[in-house]
Amino acid sequence: MKILITGGAGFIGSAVIRHVIADTGDSVINVDKLTYAGNLESLRDIGDSPRHVFEQVDICDAAALDRVFRQHRPDAVMHLAAESHVDRSIDGPAAFIETNIVGTYTLLEAARRYWQEMDPARRDAFRFHHISTDEVYGDLDASDALFTETTPYAPSSPYSASKASSDHLVRSWHRTYGLPVLVTNCSNNYGPCQFPEKLIPLMILNALEGRALPVYGNGQQVRDWLYVEDHARALYEVLTRGTVGETWNIGGHNEQTNLEVVHALCGLLDEFRPASAPHARLIAHVQDRPGHDRRYAIDAGKIERELGWTPRETFASGLRKTVAWYLQNLDWCRHIQDGSYQRTRLGINAPGVGST
């Protein structure tokens, strides 16, 4: 199978590609604009695999997408390309509207044109898998039941509103045009290759440099944490075995407050890189961000019942692996901090080159 993966140089997208190349016989067409969050160094483990080809393409560029579909003739699409940082969406929502809504629309139309021209057998097998977030559901009180696939949407930020819009577009393309879609909504991901503006890598790098560990408000916001490699496995299961038109929530069964996460990180750093004083001394509470959601928590029972997926990592085991990865890959972090990651291609197949 040939899978077109958008956002394949991003955090989750690169984990999906590493899984596909390492653990399946499938091929990948990696479509990524390479914005600030796109980093081809995250794919260095796959080297110059002939089953991976990279296309530097903006999903808002209809003509470029049409060329990619015609040239590579994928059997499925996994759509991960998105602006995804809540703080950035508050400071500049326009990019989120453009990429997450207009980009998803443009990709849907390119996929529909391609799908309609396929022969009947390939058309029946084609899938468009849209990867979204639990943030579309809004937030929960401490005593509220978990998010399910039928929880009403109530997004709180420009980011989550733009993702909710993209979810609605995907489902409407299925209902109106018959495009065979699958939708997943995941909880907070963590693990190797996450961009350092996110909570866990930011805290690790700040602590190593002896800098403050900023925690919003009282730090009691609760998130369900999902190890990114567990998520990659779940996404592939949905793509290959899921029922068209259905939605699956993917969570890690790991609810933690932000403050608990930071203290756990400090404990691991005290173990791996002991300093003259405990790293927790660096924790600094800062003004909360506007509209900060209180709690996200996912019921992942449907994907377990229907597809047999469960996370392999507990929060403790996944966090230990994550901290160890960052400590062993500080060059990856430095290349982001000095900007050199945006100038490298690492021998990965250049746009339009390579077999798939």
* Residue pLDDT, tens place only, 5-59: 999 999 999 999 999 999 999 999 999 999 988 999 999 999 899 999 999 999 9
Indicate which CATH number applies to the domain containing 226. 3.40.50.720
Question: Into how many domains does the chain fold?
Answer: 1
Q: What is the DSSP string of 250-271?
A: E--S-EEEHHHHHHHHHHHHHH
What dihedral do alpha carbons 256, 259, 260, 263 form, nearest 10°?
Answer: 150
**pLDDT by 10s per residue, the chain, length 356:** 999 999 999 999 999 999 999 999 999 999 999 998 899 999 999 989 999 999 999 999 999 999 999 999 999 999 999 998 888 899 999 999 999 999 999 999 999 999 999 999 999 999 999 999 999 999 998 888 999 999 999 999 999 999 999 999 999 999 999 999 999 999 999 999 999 888 999 999 999 999 999 999 999 999 999 999 999 999 999 999 999 999 999 999 899 999 999 999 999 999 999 999 999 999 999 999 888 889 999 999 999 999 999 999 999 999 999 999 999 999 998 898 888 887 765 545 444 333 32
Is 351 in contact with 55 (CB distance < 8 Å)?
yes
Q: Is residue 255 part of a domain?
A: yes
Is 148 in contact with 137 (CB distance < 8 Å)?
no
What dihedral do alpha carbons 190, 193, 195, 196 form, nearest 10°?
Answer: 80
Q: Is residue 297 part of a domain?
A: yes
CA distance 133 to 231: 12
Catalytic residue among 135, 229, 230, 313: 135
Q: Is residue 334 part of a domain?
A: yes
Q: Is residue 153 part of a domain?
A: yes
Q: Is residue 68 part of a domain?
A: yes
CA distance 152 to 206: 38
Is 100 in contact with 113 (CB distance < 8 Å)?
no
Clarify whether 134 is annotated catalytic. Answer: yes
The range of the structural domain enclosing residue 309 comes to 2-343
User: Which of 202, 248, 253 is CA-nearest to residue 223?
Assistant: 253
Clarify whether 159 is annotated catalytic. Answer: yes
The encoded tokens of residue 331 equal: 């060059």
Catalytic residue among 159, 236, 296, 326: 159
Clarify whether 227 is annotated catalytic. Answer: no
Catalytic residue among 83, 134, 224, 255: 134
Q: What is the DSSP string of 278-301?
A: -GGGGEEEEPPPTT---B--B--H
Q: Is residue 348 part of a domain?
A: no
The b/e string for 211-239 (b: 16+ C-beta within 10 A; e otherwise) is eebbbbeebebbbbbbbbbbbbbbbbbbb
What strands, in cross-sheet order, belong to the sheet with 27-32?
52-56, 27-32, 2-6, 76-79, 127-133, 181-186, 247-250
Distance (Å) of CA 49 to CA 20, 45, 198, 230: 11, 10, 29, 23
CA distance 36 to 17: 19
Q: pLDDT of 150-163, one tens digit each?
A: 999 999 999 999 99
Q: Is residue 353 part of a domain?
A: no
Q: Is residue 210 part of a domain?
A: yes
CA distance 158 to 88: 9
* Sole residue written with tokens 């560029």: 61
Strands annotated E in 86-206: 127-133, 181-186, 188-190
CA distance 201 to 259: 15
Q: pLDDT of 300-326, one tens digit each?
A: 999 999 999 999 999 999 999 999 999
